[in-house]
Amino acid sequence: MRLAHLSVILFCALITISCSRKTTTTLDQSSASERTKFDAQQKSLLLSGSASDPMRLFLTTNESDSLLLRQRAAEVIPNPSDPLLNACIDRLLTTVQDSMSLGVGIAAPQVGILKRIIWVQRFDKEGFPFEVYLNPVIKQYTKKKQNCMEGCLSIPDKQAETKVRAYAILLEYDTREGEHITEMVEDFTAVIFQHEIDHLDGKLFIDLLEE
Ligand SMILES: [Zn+2]
pLDDT at 35: 57
Regions of the chain where pLDDT drops below 50: 1, 3, 6-32
Tell me the C-alpha distance between 112 and 115, whole Å: 9
Q: Does some domain include residue 181? A: yes
Q: Does some domain include residue 18? A: no
Catalogue the active-site residues.
Answer: 196
Q: Name the domain count of the chain.
A: 1
Global confidence as pTM: 0.83
Domain around 51: 37-208
Predicted confidence (pLDDT) per residue in 156-176, tens digit: 999 999 999 999 999 999 999
Q: Does some domain include residue 23? A: no
Residues forming a β-bridge with 160:
150
Residues 6+ apart with CB under 8 A from 174: 78, 133, 134, 135, 180, 181
Nearest to 197 by CA among 33, 46, 75: 75
Q: How far is the CA of 67 from the centre of ligand 1 (A)?
A: 15
Q: Does some domain include residue 12? A: no
Predicted confidence (pLDDT) per residue in 6-35, tens digit: 444 444 444 433 333 433 344 444 444 555
Q: How far is the CA of 11 from the centre of ligand 1 (A)?
A: 61
Q: How far is the CA of 151 from the centre of ligand 1 (A)?
A: 7
Q: What is the CATH number of the domain that holds 118?
A: 3.90.45.10
